[in-house]
Structure 1
Amino acid sequence: MKFAIQSKGDEYSESIKRQMEQYLVDFDVQLDEVEPDIVISIGGDGTLLHAFHRYNHRLKETSFVGVHTGHLGFYADWVPDEVEKLVIAIAKTPIQVVEYPLLEVTVRHLDGGKETQYLALNECTIKSTEGTLVLDVEIRGEHFETFRGDGLCMSTPSGSTAYNKALGGAILHPYIDAFQMTEMASINNRVFRTIGSPLVFPKHHTCVLKPISDVKFQITVDHRTIVHEDVKSIQFRVANEKVRFARFRPLPFWKRVRESFVTE
């Protein structure tokens, strides 16, 4: 068993990182930051997103587990007081893995050059850098609508509790192979009209956004922000790859939802 640790970087998280590294090495678990079997995230959901993008080239070999040092997160299952219990579980018990779907984003350019592809664990957002976003929305190769507004958010099921929820999107169980589109302040009047509701796409469907005019696009992929020019289209679909989470105890999804949003 080989492990790596991604820390939030604050003093408290770093102290827990050092503690866990020492415990795991004492249990003859090998520290390997290049090809780890398991990556331990210490911080919050943002820290785990950084860990995911650091190791997203090893999704078939690497699983993730989180220790939260701040507010309870959806990806961070353990608390600092449970570090010794988690270390023993990693060192002594077989890893039970659950897999969640990811979002594949493909950006194609007008010059026909090399396309750019991203994987999102939470969501991808599209905005114009020059005011109102205007683009055609195609579903399975057919025109669906022309969107005008601040932007669009495409989220995974596991990311549906994040920005997607703030936009009025539905919470999807992460075992569902799907992705969701929600609108940001769409323009709806007698002249312009959009669906106005979140759309959920199954695994075998693609959604393609095509700009009406040549503008710069601000695209976020989880915590990263990228500006693209000369965009021909942006395609979204459920990725072939999946993210793997190490589970050492039951952690019902709806219980996490209730504790995060309902329980006082």
Structure 2
Amino acid sequence: MLSLKVMHYCIVSRDDKRSKMMSFEISSYIKKDAFFSFDEISPELIIVIGGDGTFLGALHKYIEKVGQIKFLCFNTGTIGYYNEFDVNSFKKCIDSIKERALPTRTFSLLKYSSGSCTHFAINELILSGLVKNVEYEVFLDGEKLEDYFGMGLVISSSTGSMGYNRSINGSILDIEIDGMQMTEIAAIRSKAYSPIGSPVVFSKDRVLTFKEKNSRPGSLLADNILLEEKCAKEFTISIAQEKVICYSLEKDPFLARLKKTLGF
């Protein structure tokens, strides 16, 4: 018989009747097992009950400890890209975690860096001109890539490519591709500006550098959360070393997400 170490957990639930009811049921079930110990400060397991928004909220709340955490996500929302488990299967899932029989899948994070300031996103980082257009010199691994002037830029992960990125005609990436994609929002073309005009996919080892021009900085949103009203004058975006770990049973998660996105 395996010698089991106590697993610290917490529950993050959406604020609706069904989710709160399931949160109570799960809490009542799990606290009877001495293997699990409730801990909101340093959890090793976060049980998410809701939709993708609930998952994103939980992820960003514990982002500084993401490498030490596994997420078990139950869907009581609509699409549920990350919340793949039926909430009615919670007993089986929790028992499987105790028996170390529930497989996991890792997802990459995007990383924004400027000096000692860092931010992370699992879906996308958006450089947005909330009031006026933004203007940046964009470099790839230190080499000039473009002069951008327009409403903003979206840097999405492969898992985030089916979200906001797709709505602005970005490409859908297989989530097995560990990279990032840059998609322009309403770029302005003129003699002074020559935007790329198409989504560009970069491998995981690439680094994008952005340098503000003419005092036209963008606001920074990570997974639709406003983090900086004005970005730093110079910053980089890359794939982070840290990974998000989620319990998953899907044999082909990309195909499953594609079906959800396209509605079949």
Q: Same fold (TM over 0.5)?
A: yes
Aligned-partner residue type, residue 138 of structure 1: F
Corresponding residue of 2:226: 225
Aligned to 1:255: 255
Gaps of 5+ in 1: 108-113
Deviates more, 1:65-74 or 1:254-263: 254-263
1:16-95 alignment runs, 5 A limit? 16-28=22-34, 29-95=36-102
Task: Verify the 8 A CA contact 2:219 2:230 in the aligned structure 1.
Answer: no
Identify the residue that residue 166 of structure 2 maps to in structure 1: 165
- Cα deviations by residue, 1:105-154 (Å, 9 ceiling, x for unpaired): 013xxxxxx54211111111002344111111111111111111110001
| Cα contact 1:173–1:253 (8 A) shared by 2 | no
Q: Where do residues 1-264 of structure 1 align in structure 2 (5 Å cutoff)?
A: 1-28=7-34, 29-107=36-114, 115-189=116-190, 192-229=193-230, 231-247=232-248, 249-264=249-264
Kindly provide the amino acid, as one letter, of the partner of residue 182 in structure 1.
T
Distance 1:94 1:143, change over 3 A: same
* Structure 2 counterpart of 1:110: none
Secondary structure at 2:189's aligned position in 1? coil
Whole-angstrom distance in 1 between the partners of 2:176 and 2:149: 32
Query: Once the 2 structures are TM-superposed, how far is the Cα of residue 251 of structure 1 from its aligned partner?
Result: 4.1
2: distance between equivalents of 1:216 and 1:180?
A: 20
* Alpha carbons 2:9, 2:40 under 8 Å: kept: yes
Q: Secondary structure at the match of 1:73?
A: coil
Counterpart-to-counterpart distance in 2, 1:204 and 1:34:
33
CA contact (8 A) 1:216 1:227 kept: no
Residues 202-240 of structure 1: per-residue CA shift (max 9 Å, x gap): 122111111112245311011320334473212111111
Closer, same or farther: CA 232–46 of 1 in aligned 2, 3 Å? same
Give the TM-score of the pair, scaled to structure 1.
0.89
Percent identical: 27
Count of matched residue positions in the alignment of Structure 1 and Structure 2: 257
- 8 Å contact from structure 2 (residues 217, 233) kept in 1: no
What's the RMSD between the two structures over aligned residues? 2.0
Which runs of no fewer than 5 residues in structure 2 stay unpaired? Answer: 1-6
State TM-score, norm by structure 2: 0.89
What displacement does 1:261 show? 2.6
Greater Cα offset, 196-205 or 223-232: 223-232
Moved more, 210-219 or 61-70: 210-219
